[in-house]
Amino acid sequence: MKVVFVGPTVPDARKLAGAAFAVRPPAMQGDILRAIRAGGTVIGLVDGNFEHVAPVWHKEILFALSQGVQIFGAASMGALRAAECASFGMIGVGEIFRRYAAGELADDSDVALLHAPAELGYAPLTVPLVNVHATLARLRQSGSITAGDAARIEAAARQIFYKRRTWAAIVADADLQTDGDRAALAARLHQGLVDQKRVDALELFEMVRAQPDELRGGRPNWEFNSTSMWKVLLNQPQT
């Protein structure tokens, strides 16, 4: 069984997945273990819960890898965990993973955003920093914005809590070289959005789609060690 954990990064994931893989909500601690117990052989991690619940635990990723399960990560929590677990065999996908792996990104807040609940389709309500960065890079390349203003806008975005980081809030706080029509600038940024998180997640979808639905043969060159905390998770009721 192939499983991908995804929510606000690709709200239309179920439609895009078709019969290629099962779509699960953003992962929290224990979800990868539950997917393995349900027969998962290939797992894609895109989105994860982290604020009011325990996030995906590195230990369950390592356990999955030790059992021959392939795990891919991209775009959001998946990119962060892939950078942290790459040396153990987790496969990172996309530009955001590359930036975490290279040390250009370090904080989980770089991919965080406020979004609507599942009942409303996970609609994104704020802009994650990685998309701010990608959008400004595209506008700089096209000459639509100066390098100086792009740097000032990104700096302003970094100072705003992710739950209120809209283009309007970013532009309002930015120390721009010229104080022109800020509403028009915010609209231009919104219209020119580069959704790097979605781009990377769709690349992960294709990689998961291409994998055979089977466990990998052989053993990793490291040993998985059980701990008291791991035994607690193993013994929790599986729903």
Collapse the DSSP code of 122 into the 3-class scheme (helix H, G, I; strand E, B; otherwise coil) and give the result. Answer: coil
> What are 9-50's pLDDT values in tens digits?
999 999 999 999 999 999 999 999 999 999 999 999 999 988
34 to 73, 75, 121: CA distances (angstroms): 17, 22, 24
> What are 120-179's pLDDT values in tens digits?
888 899 999 999 999 999 999 998 888 999 999 999 999 999 999 999 999 999 988 766
Residue 185 CA, distance from chain mean position: 27
What does the pLDDT average to over 211-238? 81
Do you know the residue count of the chain?
A: 239
Give the whole-angstrom CA distance, residue 223 versus residue 153.
46
Residue with tokens 């991209």: 74
How much is the pLDDT for 196? 98
| Per-residue H/E/C for 144-178 | CCCHHHHHHHHHHHHCCCHHHCCHHHHHHHCCCCC
Strand arrangement, sheet containing 42-45: 22-24, 2-5, 42-45, 70-74, 91-93
Beta-carbon contacts of residue 152 (< 8 Å; ≥ 6 apart) = 174, 175, 176, 177
